[in-house]
A = this chain, B = another copy of it.
Amino acid sequence: MPAEEHKWFIEHTSPGTAHMFGVVNFLKSMRTEYQQVEVADTTQFGRILILDGKIQSAEYDEYIYHEALVHPAMLICPAPRRVLVTGGGEGATLREVLRHPTVEKLVMVDLDREVVEICRELLTSWHQGSFDDRRVELHFMDARQYLEETDQLFDVILSDIPEPVEAGPALKLFTRQYFELISKRLVAGGAFALQAGDCGLPFIEAHSAILNTIRQVMPLALPYRAFIPSFNTEWGFILAAAEGREMPAAEALDLLIQERRLDLRYFDGETAGSIFALPKDIRARLAAETRTIDDDNLISVY
């Protein structure tokens, strides 16, 4: 057994399931004002970011997560100029947004300055300097408070918030009230996308409730998902937009990507065809959902 393999990050996903990641080096372990944060170099997935014991993204495959989160919403908008990102501490969501040449202003609102500073220092292949782009405006504050106070409107809003864990900082960023605030800050015809939790069937409870909640607030809500190896599961996303909008067909998407000169590794027309089509069992499970998440009726994951 190689010398590295006596150090492990063990991510528990339920009382009876866990994933073990061999660790070459833990670069950072600290408690910020809001959460426990770790950065580790793993044997298999390169560098990873961990918040409150849950993997956020990995050097090896973060492009899958971030391309899946960003480009559907950006491409469904003809010419996105003003974009808001809530959360997104790694800076890779910024990176993907900034690929779109029409973007003039990109506001990022993250609660935890310390996490962002750690990412800036240690996750350089994620952000690739995006924090320093002149179009980026960075706010360290609660996303709900920002949305309540601002009078700006955005073409695209992206919610890149960690999963809601018990007593964690994200609990109120998956509720009807949050989505209503988002909705008010979108231009007519604007688009919203968010990371929306584990989409693997045994752990789809949160994703399903989030989808149903957004459907109370926005005219169109399309669930999609991407398999992310370091997450050991398919991850759920939701694209919400004005009624009548839909994802362009594969050829149209490929053309759009070409026009915007986006150099993508994961997302294209065929990928979109794959990830927006849902297997029958998942569709049945989502269709049966009746719960709505509310400030008075929160959900949390294990």
A interface residue numbers (CB < 8 A to B)? 1-12, 14-26, 29, 31, 36, 38, 42-45, 50, 52-53, 60-61, 63-64, 200-203, 226-227, 229, 232-234, 264-268, 270-271, 273-275, 277-281, 283-284
Q: Known contacts being A200-B229, A202-B60, A274-B277, is A16 close to B25, with CB within 8 Å?
A: no
State the CA gap A135–B31 with chains docked (Å): 42
- Chain B residues with CB under 8 A of A26: 7, 23, 25-26, 29
Closest 6 CB pairs of A and B: A16-B43, A16-B22, A274-B277, A3-B36, A26-B26, A18-B20
Q: Known contacts being A18-B20, A22-B17, A232-B233, is A53 close to B1, with CB within 8 Å?
A: yes
> Can you list 28 A-B contacts (CB < 8 A)?
A3-B52, A6-B10, A6-B50, A7-B7, A7-B23, A8-B10, A16-B21, A16-B43, A17-B21, A17-B22, A18-B20, A19-B232, A25-B26, A26-B29, A45-B202, A60-B201, A60-B202, A64-B281, A200-B227, A200-B229, A201-B229, A265-B280, A265-B281, A265-B284, A267-B279, A273-B273, A274-B274, A274-B275
State the CA gap A78–B23 with chains docked (Å): 50
Least CB distance, A198 to chain B, in whole angstroms: 10
Name the one of B5, B52, B234, B277 contacting A270, with C-beta atoms under 8 angstroms.
Answer: B277
Q: Smallest CB-CB separation from A11: which chain B residue? A: B6
Q: Smallest CB-CB separation from A12: which chain B residue? A: B1
State the CA gap A270–B279 with chains docked (Å): 7
State the CA gap A250–B267 with chains docked (Å): 22
State the CA gap A66–B52 with chains docked (Å): 37
Least CB distance, A52 to chain B, in whole angstroms: 6
- Chain B residues with CB under 8 A of A279: 64, 226, 266-267, 270-271, 274-275
Q: Known contacts being A29-B7, A29-B24, A232-B19, is A280 close to B275, with CB within 8 Å?
A: no
State the CA gap A28–B43 with chains docked (Å): 17
Besides the known contacts A16-B44, A17-B22, 5 further A-B residue pairs in the complex with CB atoms under 8 A apart: A8-B10, A19-B232, A20-B20, A64-B281, A271-B280
Name the one of B14, B31, B200, B280 contacting A268, with C-beta atoms under 8 angstroms.
Answer: B280
